[in-house]
Amino acid sequence: MLAGVSGGGWLHVRGRRVVVGTALVGALVLIAVIGPYLTADPLARDIERGLTDLGAPLAPSGDALLGTDQLGRDVWARIVGGAGTSLGLAAAATLIALAIGLAVGLAAGYAGGRIDGALMRLVDLVLSFPLLLLAILLAALLRESRLAGSSVPIVATLAVVGWTTMARVLRDKTRVLARGEMVMAARAAGAGATRIVVRHLLPNVLGIVAVLTALGFAQNLLAESVLSYLGLGPPPPAPTWGRMLFEGRMYYRTAPHLVLAPGLAILIAVAAFQLLASGLRDRFDPKGAAR
């Protein structure tokens, strides 16, 4: 009986992860989509009413929920605006990385042989560089091109460094499936490679894809914040959480809300997607989660 209660409690905790993670992610998406219509302009400066008589940022109050920054801009409005920017960039990069990783992983795992070897050497080449260093290098190079004034550099950077994990995990899973009875029977029936991949392999890796996508989203959110903090993100005055951290670092003693607000936003967002990924992993691989 004790074992049953323990197991039931464990299942309850695992199910709760999905619920909490989904709720947090849903709340973040709602804030990013609807929030800008309900808050002030995140770029609007109010030197007269948004700063103290000494020119310092205002502390959180009823008029400014999270206070104002050094230019008199509403911090809550900038957090909301930054949610749309950060989540949008992370989503674009994650989708691109998902497409590349899915294609490479399925191709390498199913084809095997030289194709597998060549694709995995490409993965090893990308992984041989420190990810943050590679991201900074790519972002800096792209920022010098005609795309410097857009969000393309950071999206391309995050996508380039983010597809390798997806590709490697899917390749290993696909290799196991490709040797299974289901695929062997499909081959014996005369099914082509495309049909086998689409009808038999892809549906069986969707659970792993969901987990890796949530993890990749969390990783891209954090990486985007780091790059924005270093000045390699979307150019000002676009509000991003990493840029807000950079701009508020000099006021961490006199106006700590300028650092705490974007820092907590990053922490909550990354934790939400990691919690969702953990819950999805427990849902699709309960035996692996139990280990």
pLDDT in single tens digits along all 291 residues of the chain: 334 444 444 445 556 778 888 899 999 999 999 988 888 888 888 777 778 777 788 888 877 788 888 888 889 999 999 999 999 999 999 999 999 999 998 888 888 888 888 999 998 888 887 767 777 777 677 666 666 556 777 888 888 888 888 899 998 888 888 777 777 787 777 677 777 777 778 888 888 899 999 999 999 999 889 888 888 778 777 889 999 999 888 888 888 999 999 999 999 999 999 999 988 887 776 554 444
d(CA 210, CA 212): 6
Residue 183 belongs to a domain: yes
The number of beta carbons lying within 10 Å of the beta carbon of residue 132 is: 13
Q: What is the CATH number of the domain that holds 60?
A: 1.10.3720.10
DSSP state of 51: B
User: Given the structure tokens 């490409």, which residue do they identify?
Assistant: 122
Residue 1 belongs to a domain: no
Residue 2 belongs to a domain: no
pTM comes to: 0.83
| Axis-axis angle for helices 257-284, 2-38 (nearest 10) | 130
Preceding amide of 262 cis, omega within 30: no
d(CA 38, CA 47): 22
Residue 153 belongs to a domain: yes
Range of the domain at 80: 7-290
Residue 70 belongs to a domain: yes
Number of domains in the chain: 1
Residue 138 belongs to a domain: yes
d(CA 283, CA 260): 34
Determine contact, residues 127/165, Cβ cutoff 8 Å.
no
